[in-house]
């Protein structure tokens, strides 16, 4: 299936050096285990546009699976969520079509 993610970023820009944008489609159907990545897109970005489109291809979920989209703009390139990063904070169902994902800036302890 083709998942078209439209990322809505808050105002504020990025620090010099840019950031790493990671978009995940994850299998979140199992409550007692960590989400499993089904598709991952990683892009280096130098500027933070207010809307960032990302297209991803992944398999269709089975009848007992649920796929969600998660986004992380890693400004420190640490690979972890840290203060200053931008993250999605709600579950957004991955569908064959358009998925809008707003981001929130991390301002406190993680």
pLDDT tens-digit profile of 3-15?
999 999 988 777 6
Q: Domain with 35 in it: what CATH number?
A: 2.60.40
Position 110 in a domain: no
pLDDT of residue 16: 67
Position 39 in a domain: yes
> Over 90: is that where the pLDDT of 81 sits?
yes
The CA-based angle 29-34-36, given to 5 degrees, is 65
Q: Structural domain tally of the chain?
A: 1
Domain membership of residue 68 as a residue range: 2-105
Instruction: Summarize the confidence of residues 69-74 as an average pLDDT.
Output: 96
- pTM metric for this prediction: 0.91
Buried b (16+ CB within 10 A) or exposed e, 55-76: ebebeebeeeeebbbbbbbbbe
Position 88 in a domain: yes
CA 3/CA 98 separation, integer angstroms: 6
Which residues are within 8 A (CB) of 87 and not within 5 positions of it... i.e. 6 or more apart? 71, 72, 73, 81, 103, 104, 106
Count of CB atoms within 10 A of residue 97's CB?
9
pLDDT of residue 49: 84
Per the prediction, the chain carries an average pLDDT of 92
Q: What is the pLDDT of residues 14-50, one digit of tens each?
A: 766 789 999 999 999 998 889 999 999 999 988 888 8
């Amino acid at each position: 299936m083709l998942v078209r993610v439209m990322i809505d970023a808050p105002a504020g820009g990025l620090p010099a050096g840019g950031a790493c944008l990671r978009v995940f489609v994850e299998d979140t159907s199992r409550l007692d285990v960590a989400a499993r990545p089904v598709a991952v897109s990683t892009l280096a970005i130098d500027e933070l546009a207010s809307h960032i489109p990302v297209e991803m291809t992944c398999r269709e979920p089975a009848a007992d699976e649920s796929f969600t989209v998660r986004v992380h703009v890693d400004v420190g390139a640490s690979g972890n969520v840290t203060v200053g990063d931008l993250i999605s904070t709600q579950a957004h169902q991955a569908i064959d079509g358009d998925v809008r994902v707003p981001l929130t800036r991390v301002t406190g302890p993680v």
